[in-house]
Amino acid sequence: MARRSASKPDRSPSNSRSPAAVDVHVGARIRMRRRFLGLNQTALASALGLTFQQVQKYERGSNRVSASKLYDIARTLKVTISFFFEGLPNQIEAGEPDPTGQALHDFLTTPEGLELAEVFPRIGDPRMRRQLLEFARAVVEGGSARP
């Protein structure tokens, strides 16, 4: 009977040493939550008994987070372990991009996007929220935004 090999993580076909998509996603979620709480990498590293370089590698996805370390990170960042997998598109397995998930990820991993996400729901006037959205669209369409 032929023995099945364990499936390999989804890695870039051009570079077998590139991070797996799930590791990049988990790392981005760690970074997003850390920044949301106002922690720098050094503070998180200290709380976890790591170096800030290790935290950097986790956040980039270049080092995989072990189950026990993910548990420690979740406790430190006050989230459930499932938080790190939320928004992980099923398309990763099929190799198809998830444009909505990627856009949300890109938005929330910038300092300005995270801050905007915090304050936007507190704008009580729906017309003001709409005007802010229209302003952002005008900036993009006017060519002032970067691709």
Domain 21-98 has CATH 1.10.260.40: yes
Distance CA 37, CA 77 (A): 8
Q: Full-prediction pTM beyond 0.95? A: no
> Three-state DSSP class for 144?
coil
Q: Where are the domains of the chain?
A: 21-98, 110-147
Please name the helix (run of DSSP H) or strand (run of DSSP E) that holds residue 141, with its range, or none: helix 126-141
Distance of alpha carbon 147 from alpha carbon 144, whole angstroms: 10
The DSSP H or E segment spanning 44 is: helix 41-48
**Amino acid 97: pLDDT:** 54
Predicted local confidence at residue 41, as pLDDT: 94
Which has the closest alpha carbon to 67: 34, 39, 26, 6? Answer: 26
Rounded-to-integer distance, Cα 65 and Cα 84, Å? 11
User: Are 22 and 10 spatial neighbours (Cβ–Cβ below 8 Å)?
Assistant: yes
Q: What is the pLDDT along the chain (147 residues), one digit of tens a residue?
A: 444 444 445 554 445 577 888 898 899 899 989 988 889 999 999 999 999 999 999 998 899 999 999 999 999 999 999 999 888 766 445 455 555 566 776 777 777 887 888 888 888 999 998 999 899 889 888 865 555
What CA–CA distance (Å, rounded) separates 63 from 69? 12
pLDDT value at position 12?
A: 44
